[in-house]
Structure 1
Amino acid sequence: MSTLVLCVDRSNDIGRKAGLPTPVVGWEAVRSLVTDVGLADPEDSNVNCLLEALRVSRDLRDEKEDSIVAVVSGVNDTLVGADRSLAAQVDALVDEYDPESAIVVVDSASDERVVPVIESRLRIDSVDRVVVRQAHDIESTYYLLKQFLADEELRSTILVPLGATLLLMPLLLTRFEPQLAFAVIGSVLGAALLYKGLAIDQLLAESPERIRDALYSGQVSIVTYVVAAGLTLVGAFLGALSVTPLTGSGTSATLISTMQFIYHAVPWLALAALTASAGRLLDELIGTDGVSRQYLNLPFGIVALGLVVRGFAGWFLQREGILSDAVLFSWALSARQRLALFIVGGIVVSVIGVRIAATMSENETLEEAVEQ
């Protein structure tokens, strides 16, 4: 197996500084070329590129593999002309030595752009990019920026919100106070990042197709989702109405208002979640694949979660005297007893749901075993 180790110099720095025509072929010729280029410009990264080509060729030779080391360059003032000149040199090497594959050695992004030109003429097994150690951080940053700018999705996620923010900043600073302007800019930038980070754009793009498929397929869940959305609005509305203005300010007043909202909104929110899960459960029952265990657990989990959350909200309100003591079978319940009752109720409901789901799953497994 013959491998061509090819050092690529698209800008013809090697040929110009050494005063030699390319291609340069052979171990001794390339090693002599390293000395000529190094003496002409010791700071030239092409010296490292040539040495890397020699090292790769030596390693292949140590592995008992035939290798040919060569240097090609683009001898022309224009990029198109340089690439054509480089392609002609590669064609000449392929015709003369007939290698089976190539290992391309480059030292810059510009040289790496001609890899497809070489690949169209010869199979490339590897591209060896040489980065000078002193400039490693700068070179790595350049390649990262290059990859970033080449990714359309990353550009739209980062650069578009950042550019819109920079355009908006002067307008806000001229019309509002700096604190308000920076607050608005931060909110807009955060909303844009969350919009992309949570894939809300994909969800909105796919929503019309999903709704259309659901309507055409006759799914019950599409109706129950609409009902659940209405119940959610009702719960939020009633929760907001239940918040009473309190004297004083600070964390305690905010906490009490939040607990009032949660206490009155949770039943409606739980009912909305139950309605949505009921529609999904009906779709599973109507389908031919049967009901999965997670859909059986979901309604019980919603009820259990609603009981626990309402219990903690009621505990806060009863401690502050906003909520009157609960009465169970003519017994007045304290705040702790009321909370314990709700927690126990939530655990019981959750256990019942798990047990029912497990029983139904076992029955389905037995039926499948009997059918087989």
Structure 2
Amino acid sequence: MQTLVICIDRDNDLGDKANVLAPLIGREANIEAAVKLATADPEDSDTNTIFGGVKILDELLDKGVDAEIITLAGDRNIGIISDQKIANQLDIILKRFPAESGIFVSDGAEDETLLPIVQSRMKIDSVRRIVVMQSANLESTYYIIKHAFNDPKISQTFFVPLGLAALIYAFFLLIDYSQGAIIGILAAVGLYMLYRGFSDTVDLYWEKLKDSFYSGRMTFFTYATAALLILIGTLVGLMGVWSLYTSQGIWYYGIIPLITSFIHSTIWIYILAIIFADAGKIIDCRQRSEPSGKYIIPAYFVMSLGFLLWGATSYLMSLNPVMGGTETSLQAGLEIFVYSIVFAIILALAGIRASNKPQKKEKRSKR
């Protein structure tokens, strides 16, 4: 085959709205899918993308070019998951139709972010963006705002943090604690922004967690335990910081002592959570008779880091009388810091030694 016309539906509107499974191959299949999508949602731009691809296909066939049209669809969770699905679909199609080149068809910049993925697998001769011409009334500000807010991707981005802020503020006003409203709003909006920033990573781990649950792997239990430990550790650290803050105030202790107190009270809970997560991977590897060294080695370095942070925070707390200096003397804090460095070095060296063993085995097996 000479040319492949590639249409992209990155957020899988075909599957969610028209119940059409991708990939779509051939002119008839694409036209049928476009009609179903237009019937389900006449305003979806992916319909025009497919029809635009069909027009390009017809033009190529009229010129005697051996061409075919395909449509690739991703996932509602735009990012790593959707891009991996599109890449897998393209790999399968290229095995069936080893085309010399392709024409990339999209409805905007969002779909065109997949262009490097497609170009890594085949040569792209042209990129076509299908833009729908609208009447003056449809281009009015009211129409644009209305349909933008009806889009789940836009409405979730703007409405969720505003709604959380309004609910938190109303709750703290109800209990007559206005100062807590500011803290609660900042915490909620901050968590939401972190989730949006790491949404691809969160979605990826969520998919792995579901996969481990349905396949009966140990990682489901250990991941859930690790998440619970992280939550408990965070709450313990925040309660300790809050007790210090409410007793004298941040102007008395300062930011560094409060952060030191948080790390000192949570570090081992976080370390235990990471080790639990790795333990599940190790057990699953042993059950499948796979090498588990790559999961054992990080445990050494994680515990080494834990000793360093715990020893450093213990020493800092012994320097400050209001942060625990009365319980731990300066000399005792220094001794703890020195011993923790020694233990950290021993664990790091053990991890380095363990990391060299699999390499030796691999070399012997190759010989």
Q: Please tell me the TM-score bracket, short chain as reference.
A: 0.3 to 0.5
Give the alignment's TM-score, normalised by structure 1.
0.44
Choose 1 or 2 for highest CA Rg: 1
Give the alignment's TM-score, normalised by structure 2.
0.45
